[in-house]
A = this chain, B = another copy of it.
Amino acid sequence: MIENITPCLDCGRWPIKRIVGDTVTVEADVFRDGHQIVRAALLWGRKGDRNLDETPMDALGNDRYRGQFVVEENARYVYTVVGWTDYFASWQSDFKKKVEAGRDVGSDLLEGIALLEKICGRAVKNSAAVEELKALVERLKRSSHQDAVRLALDDAVRRLAAVLDPREDAMVHKPYLEIIVDRPKARFSSWYEMFPRSQGTEPGKPSTFLEAERRLDDIQRMGFDVLYLTPIHPIGITNRKGPNNSLVPLPDSPGSPWAIGSSAGGHTAVDPSLGTLEDFDHFVKTAQEKGLEVALDFAIQCSPDHPWVREHPEWFRHRPDGSIKYAENPPKEYQDIYPIDFDTPDQEGLKAELLWVLLFWIRRGIRIFRVDNPHTKPIMFWHWLIEEIHKDYPDVIFLSEAFTRPKLMKVLAKVGFTQSYTYFTWRNTKQELTEYLTELTQSEMAEYFRPNFFTNTPDILSPILQTGGRPAFQMRLILAATLSPSFGIYSGYELCENEAIPGTEEYMNSEKYEIKVRDWNKPGNIKDYIALVNAIRRENPALQYLTNLRFLPADNDAILFYVKSTADMSNVILVAVNLDPFNTREATVTVPCDSVGVAPGQAYVVKDLLSGATYTWSERNYVRLDPQVNPAHILRVEQRL
């Protein structure tokens, strides 16, 4: 019996996720009837490879086995467990007990020799090992009884027999289980989201890619490594939205970038006001040189002016009067957007075109896509699409922008999305954050759901940011950047922009419908703070992992306290955050000695990587956080005293 393999998602239906270089640890229950000795091994390798590697599993007791292997390549892998009876070892174990009990073992010895001869006879091919075992059998036969007994009990015989064992009752667990092995950025990334058209200096005038390049140094200095651009495609004219999502556009209203497509082209074109495809390529190359990988938005929807509307009317839903239905989520209406009808009779044509769109940008060097509203498209479409892309481009990262019900968000990650947006923006209290992070890091989700904690998005300006001022922006940044190895901000965050349409989480005068021109060096900005936090993330590997998070006690509900460390404890980071942006809060925090790698009672020096101050800490420590000064400590264990 091979049972209860871990990790294993939904009976093997979905792959787990790992990063190149990761060690994959697999456990399973392996057992059979009776008292025979059972062996187990992992079979693993790249998906599709004819021959799998084999790694022995160690017995943990209680019929549980564990093995490990390292995934070296950015590719899809498979693994499974094989179990078999080690008849010779079982014989040897019984034989030993009988010898020790002083029993007559003459007949048993003959049985052992017969077993070895059978193993020789059935060995797959002749080899040095077979010759060695044959010689050994001869020796056993020729030896005196006493010598033969000693020889038969030798561990070397058992090992040799194990090597040649034909494993006649071997059982391989089906189905094989799968792993998506991603490149490191899938786990550790810092995202900056911006509207390329809003990077200019002249009010009301959209910037081009060329002008937007001038912002790259600023973004680089803040320490980001992914630059996510809202859609860059031509924007429709029909039903174009005006300021604040109004139905009446102003003469110069640029339209929402998500109203994709015009006479200038669709999903494979760039908006003429941004420049040409060559300008885009130049932008991507310049960004790359500054360590910024450009991510594009993949929004499967069209403006009424998109070429597909004319070329493929059957890809859209029609009203009884023949007109095409615009998007809605009653009572909300999106008059400038036509959704795609995935129930179209031309499903194959549609899928081929969408695949082609991605490949178009991939061939221009793009390897990260932030996918807009994937939860309103068929789940199994994503499964197909991501697997198709990964066949040739395993380095492509897909970020799922699904803010919806938990199970739908989870299944999108299961079918293949590399990273996922989360509920982080709506988790504010210590209890909310602790519960949510515990689920993300300690439940089965850790096997497949990689959170990307955005502090804000063009659609989400959370109440705490609306009211909490600069301290709230710093506090939420620290949380996003230290709780999750992947995090992001939407531009304007560094300026602490916080004006919302009252009673909503929508930005007032949202950039979705207007060209913004900002003073990027406005007083009160937190650019240096962001740069410092990103530098701390880069320099401290403990912050580059998710599941190493451990919450620790702080006797004040407004202070969240946690530790992250590398497996070897060479990098240990303690973080204390004041969740209250309005008041100074203090707490006694408790640090179990094992969480920082000290002996009970041993003191240690911590350095606050934000302020530079050092403290001598022990099991209980006093923390005081004034949000006006700094809402958090990021303490590195420097020296164990």
Contact = CB atoms under 8 A, between A and B. Distances in A.
Nearest to A4: B10
A558 to B, nearest CB: 30
B62 A405 contact: yes
Contacts of A377: 33-34
Interface size range on A against B: 35 or more
A344 to B, nearest CB: 14
Contacts of A34: 375-377
Contact of A411 (B3, B97, B114, B330): B3
Contact of A378 (B33, B114, B406): B33
Is chain A's binding surface mostly helix, strand, loop or mixed?
mixed
Contacts of A407: 1, 3, 29, 31, 62-63
B1 A411 contact: yes
Interface stretch (A103-111, A423-431, A499-507): A103-111
Given A63-B408, A330-B98, A411-B3, A320 B33 contact: no
Contacts of A48: none
A135 interface: no
Interface string A1-40: 1011000001100000000000000000101111100000
A62 B406 contact: yes
Nearest to A3: B10
A12 to B, nearest CB: 8
A31 B408 CA distance: 7
Contacts of A111: 319-320
Nearest to A339: B34
A331 interface: yes
Contacts of A98: 330-331
A170 B406 CA distance: 22
A406 B93 CA distance: 22
A107 B329 contact: no
A228 to B, nearest CB: 23
| Copies assembled | 2
Given A331-B98, A331-B103, A406-B62, A33 B3 contact: no
A330 B97 contact: yes
A167 to B, nearest CB: 15
A100 interface: yes
A275 B426 CA distance: 80
A94 interface: yes
A252 interface: no
A10 B330 CA distance: 42
Q: Of residues A31, A33, A35, which shows the largest number of chain B Cβ atoms within 10 Å of its Cβ?
A: A33
Q: Of residues A32, A110, A330, A407, which shows the largest number of chain B Cβ atoms within 10 Å of its Cβ?
A: A330
A107 B29 CA distance: 60
Contacts of A32: 379
A594 interface: no
Contact of A107 (B110, B320, B330, B375): B320
Contacts of A49: none
A101 interface: yes
B114 A320 contact: yes
Contacts of A114: 320
Interface string A295-318: 000000000000000000000000
Contacts of A568: none
Nearest to A379: B33
Contact of A405 (B3, B31, B329): B31
A321 interface: yes
A107 B405 CA distance: 30
8 A-B pairs with least C-beta separation: A101-B331, A11-B11, A97-B330, A110-B320, A94-B330, A63-B407, A107-B319, A34-B376
Given A3-B10, A93-B330, 10 more contacts: A3-B411, A62-B405, A62-B407, A63-B406, A97-B330, A100-B331, A101-B331, A110-B320, A110-B321, A114-B320
11 contacts: A11-B11, A31-B407, A33-B375, A33-B376, A33-B408, A34-B375, A34-B376, A62-B405, A97-B330, A98-B330, A110-B319
